Structure 1
Amino acid sequence: MRSAPKLPDSAQRVAGLLAALGHDQPIVLLAETGKTSAAAAAGLGCDVAQIAKSIVFRRLADDAAVMVIASGVNRVDEQKVAAIVGPVGRADARFVKQRIGYTIGGVCPIGHLEKTIMLVDADLLKLGNLWAAAGHPHAVFNLTPAQLLAMTGAPVADVALR
C-alpha cells in the first residue's frame, strides 16, 4: 500500500487549522498546479464556478489587506469592493505573502498572518460545494458555502463584475 504524498509545509499548516475547526475533508494535492480556477477545476473534475478563489487587494487608505473569495467564473469588480471597504488597489505577490502568508496560487481563506478584511462572493452561496486553495498552488480542500462563511466570518457581498 502506498502512503499519501507528504503535504508541503504551508498545506500542513492549513491541515492543522482545518482539523482545529473540526473540518473533516482532507487536503487534496493536484497533479498540476491549481494557480488558475480553470486549472484547478480541470484537475478536480468540477465546474470552474466551484473554485473559491482568493483575490487580495490593498486598501489605499491604510494599506490593509482585503481578500475577496470569489467564484472561479467571476471577475471581481473593484468598484463594488471599494464601495464596501473603501478604495482598493492591486496587491503584488510580495504584499500577499507578507500580509496573508501564502504564495499567490495557493492563498487559503483561513490562517492569515494579519487580520484581513474579507468578503465572500454571493454567487458562491448558489453552489452545493466548493474547492478552496489550501496554502499551496497544488493543494485544495472541499467545503460548503456555509462552512466557508463559518470559517472566515466574512460577510456576503455582490462583488462580481457583470
Structure 2
Amino acid sequence: MGLLRSQLEISQNDRTRLMKLVDKQNKQIHELESRSMEIPAYKASIQRFENRVASLEDEIKLSKELNNINNKAKSSINNENVAPPPPPSLDVFAVPSTPKESRPRPRLVSPSKTQPSKKRETAKWADKLVTEYKQVAKENPSRQRSLDRRNSRFVSMPKDSQI
C-alpha cells in the first residue's frame, strides 16, 4: 500500500503541475486571441484615417483649383464696370499732411461781439414789452403794487407823491 500511496502522491503532484501548465496555456491563448482581435480593429482605424486623409487632400486640390479660377476671373474683369477709387480726401486712414501744431486754431470772439445788440428794432421790441406790462399792471391793482416795488429796489419805503 505504501507504494500505491507514493505513486498516488506523485500522480497528484504531476496533476497539479499539469493543471498549472494548462492554466498558463489558457492565459497565453486568451492573450493571443485578444491581440488577434486588436489587430483587425487597428487595421480598420488605420483604413479610416487613410480615407480621411485622402478626402482632405482632394478638398485641398479642389480649393486650389477654385482659387486659380477666381484669380483668372479677377484678372479678366473689364475695368469699365468697376467703380473708380475714392478720392484721397475721403481716405479715413490717411495721415494729415500738416502737423497738428501748424493748423489754424479758432479765435475767441471779442466781448463786444457777444453783448446784445442795441439796434432800434430790439429797443422797440423791449419798449413795447414794457408798455404792455405796465398796461396789464394798471388793469390789475395788485400787479401795480408789485411793479412799484420792483422800480424801487434800493429803498423799501413807499414812494412820496410830492417828490
With structure 2 as the length reference, what TM-score do the two structures score? 0.13
Larger RCO, structures 1/2 (Cα 8 Å, 6+ apart): 1
More strand by share: 1
Q: Which structure has the larger Rg over C-alpha atoms? A: 2
With structure 1 as the length reference, what TM-score do the two structures score? 0.13
More helix by share: 2
